[in-house]
Structure 1
Amino acid sequence: MRIVTPLMPILTGNCVLMAAEYLCSHSDSNGSVYESVLSLRTSSTGAEGAQKLPRSVCLSLSVGEGQVTSAAAVVLDEAHLAVVGFPHPSAGANKDYLCIWNIHFQTLQASKEMPGGLFTQLWCYGGKLYVPHGKTLSVIPFECRKSSLAAAMGRLKQSRQSESQSCALVSFWTTQPHGDITKTQETRRISTRQVNGSNVKGTSSAQTVDQLTEHIKTETLEAVQVVVGEFICRASQTDLQLAAGRIALELVSRSQMDGNFYPHSAFLQLLNTQYLCHSVCPGMLLLALEKKDFDLCQTAFQLFPDIPEAITCAYLKAILSTPDSEIDSVNLDMDSVMFMKVLTQIGCPSEEEVGQQNGFCSSTPEDSGSHTPSKPQRDPLHLDIKCPVGLYKSTLLNDVVQTAYSDRLLLPHLKDLTVPHVILFLQYLQFLYLRYSHEAGIQIQALRSPSMAQIVDWVCLLLDAHFTVLVMAPEAKRLVSDLHKFVRSQVKLYAELDKIEGSLQVLKKDKQSEDSGVYSIKVIELF
Structure 2
Amino acid sequence: MAAFCEEFTLCTLAGTGGSALPQGPLGLEPDRGRILLTDRGRTVTLYEVSDQKPLGSWSVRQGQNITCPAVCNFETGEFVLVHDDKVLQLWKEDDTNLDKVFKATLSADVYRIHSVPNAEPLILFKNGAVKSLDVLLAAPQQEIKNVFSNEVIRWSEAFVEAENPGVVFITEQDTNCFIYVQHCNPYMLHKFKIDQGGESSTLLSFAVYLANRTVTLLCLYSSGCIYKVLVPLQQNDSEEQHILLQSLLIRLEESDNIFKHASIAILDKDHIAVTGCLDSPDRKSKEWVSLWNIKFQTLQDSKELPLGSTGQCWCYGDRLFVTHGKELKVILYKCETSSLAAALGKIKSTPTLETKSLSVNWNMLQEDGQLCVQPDQSVPVKCGSKRLLRSRRTTGAKTLEPLTVEQLLLIIKNSSPNVIEEKLMNFLSSAQIPDFQVSVGNIILALINRCEAEPAFYPSNCLVQLAQMQGLSYSMCPGLMTIALEKTDVHLLQLCLQQFPDIPEAVICACLRTFLSISDDSLEEMNMNIDSVSGYIDTARNRKMENQSKVIQNGFSSEILEENSCDAQLTQKSHALDKSNFCPVGPQKAILLNAILRSAYSETFLLPHLKDLSAEQVILFLQYLQFLYMKCSEQATTNLPGMFCPTINQIMDWMCLVLDAHFTVVIMLPEAKGLLSNLHKFVRAQVRFYSELNKIEGSLKELQRINNPKDMGLYSIEVLKLV
Smaller-chain TM-score bracket: 0.5 to 0.7
Change (3 A) 1:282 1:487: same
Partner of 1:316: 512
Displacement of 1:281 in angstroms is 1.4
Amino acid at match of 2:478: P
Kindly report which structure 2 residues correspond to 1:23-422, keeping only aligned pairs within 5 A, or say none. Answer: 140-141=374-375, 205-234=401-430, 236-332=432-528, 334=529, 337-345=530-538, 385-422=581-618
Structure 2, unpaired ranges of 5+: 1-246, 249-360, 378-397, 542-568
**Structure 1 residue corresponding to 2:717, chosen from 510, 515, 520:** 520
Q: In structure 1, the residue corresponding to 2:474 is in which secondary structure?
A: coil
Superimposed CA distance per residue, residues 382-426 of structure 1 (whole angstroms, 9 cap, x where no aligned partner): 895111110110111000000000100000000000111111111
Q: Is the 8 A contact 2:629 2:651 kept in 1?
A: yes
Partner of residue 205, structure 2: none
CA apart distance, 1:488: 1.1
Paired residue secondary structure (1:339): coil
Q: Distance in 1 between matches of 2:414 and 2:431?
A: 22
* Count of aligned residue pairs for this structure pair: 310
> Are 1:471 and 2:705 matched, yes or no?
no
CA distance in 2, matches of 1:508, 1:269: 58
Q: Counterpart amino acid of 2:715? A: V
Q: Report the 3-state secondary structure (helix = DSSP H, G, I; strand = E; otherwise coil) of the residue aligned with 1:429.
A: helix
Aligned partners of 1:292 and 1:452: how far apart in 2? 29
The aligned amino acid for 2:520 is D
In the aligned structure 2, how far is the partner of 1:447 from the partner of 1:514?
55
Q: Deviation at 1:241? A: 2.7
Q: Distance in 2 between matches of 1:403 and 1:287?
A: 19
Verify the 8 A CA contact 1:279 1:306 in the aligned structure 2.
yes
1:394 to 1:215, Cα distance in 2 relative to 1, 3 A: same
1:231 to partner: Cα distance: 1.0
CA–CA separation in structure 1 for the residues paired with 2:493 and 2:373: 32
- TM-score, length-normalised on structure 2? 0.40
Q: Is the 8 A contact 2:373 2:438 kept in 1?
A: no
Look up the match of 2:628: 432
Higher helix share: 1
> CA contact under 8 A between 1:383 and 1:435: conserved in structure 2?
no
| DSSP 3-state at the match of 2:492 | helix
Aligned-pair distance for 1:433? Answer: 0.8
Q: Take 1:432 and 1:421, find their aligned partners in 2: how far apart are those partners? A: 17
After superposition, what is the alpha-carbon deviation per residue over 1:427-447, rounded to whole angstroms, capped at 9, x for unaligned? Answer: 111111111111124866533
Say whether the 8 Å CA contact 1:252–1:283 is kept in structure 2.
Answer: yes
Distance 1:421 1:516, change over 3 A: farther
CA distance in 2: counterparts of 1:298 and 1:419, whole angstroms: 24
| Distance in structure 2 (CA, Å) of the matches to 1:347 and 1:273 | 35
Q: Deviations over 1:320-366 (max 9, x none)?
A: 0000011122233x3xx223111124999xxxxxxxxxxxxxxxxxx
Q: 1:521 to 1:339 in 2, by over 3 A?
A: farther
TM-fit CA distance, 1:512: 4.3
Check the 8 A contact 1:429/1:455 in 2, yes or no. Answer: yes
Find the aligned partners of 1:223 and 1:301 in 2 and give their Cα distance: 28
SS of the residue 1:234 aligns to: coil
Structure 2 counterpart of 1:232, one-letter code: L
Structure 1 Cα separation of the partners of residues 470 and 645 of structure 2 = 20
* Aligned positions of 1:451-462 closer than 5 A: 451-462=647-658
**Counterpart of 1:214 in structure 2: which amino acid?**
L
CA RMSD of aligned residues (A): 3.5
AA matched with 1:311: V
Could you tell me how far 1:456 is from its partner in structure 2? 0.7
1:186-212: CA deviations, max 9, x gaps? Answer: xxxxxxxxxxxxxxxx99624322221
Specify the code of the residue in structure 1 equivalent to 2:375. Answer: P
State the secondary structure of the residue aligned to 2:665.
Answer: helix
How far residue 236 of structure 1 moved from its aligned partner, in angstroms, is: 1.4
1:512 and 1:495 mapped to 2: Cα distance?
30
Shift of 1:504: 1.7
Asked whether the equivalents of residues 278 and 304 of structure 1 are also in contact (C-alpha less than 8 Å), the reply is yes
Structure 1 alignment gaps of length 5 or more: 1-115, 118-129, 144-201, 349-374
Question: What is the CA–CA distance in structure 2 between the aligned matches of 1:140 and 1:289, rounded to whole Å?
Answer: 32
Deviations 1:252-297 (A, max 9, x none): 1111121221111111221222243211111111111111111111
- Aligned partners of 1:225 and 1:265 also within 8 Å: yes
Q: Distance in 1 between matches of 2:578 and 2:525?
A: 32
Provide the residue aligned with 2:284 in structure 1: none
Partner amino acid for 2:616? P
Report percent identity of matched pairs: 41
Q: CA deviation at 1:522?
A: 2.6
Equivalent position amino acid for 1:339 in 2: S
Kindly tell me: are residues 346 and 296 of structure 1, through their superposed partners in 2, closer, same or farther at Cα, counting changes over 3 Å?
A: closer
TM-score (ref. length: structure 1): 0.53
Counterpart code for 2:421: Q
Distance (whole Å) between structure 2 residues aligned to residue 454 and residue 347 of structure 1: 27
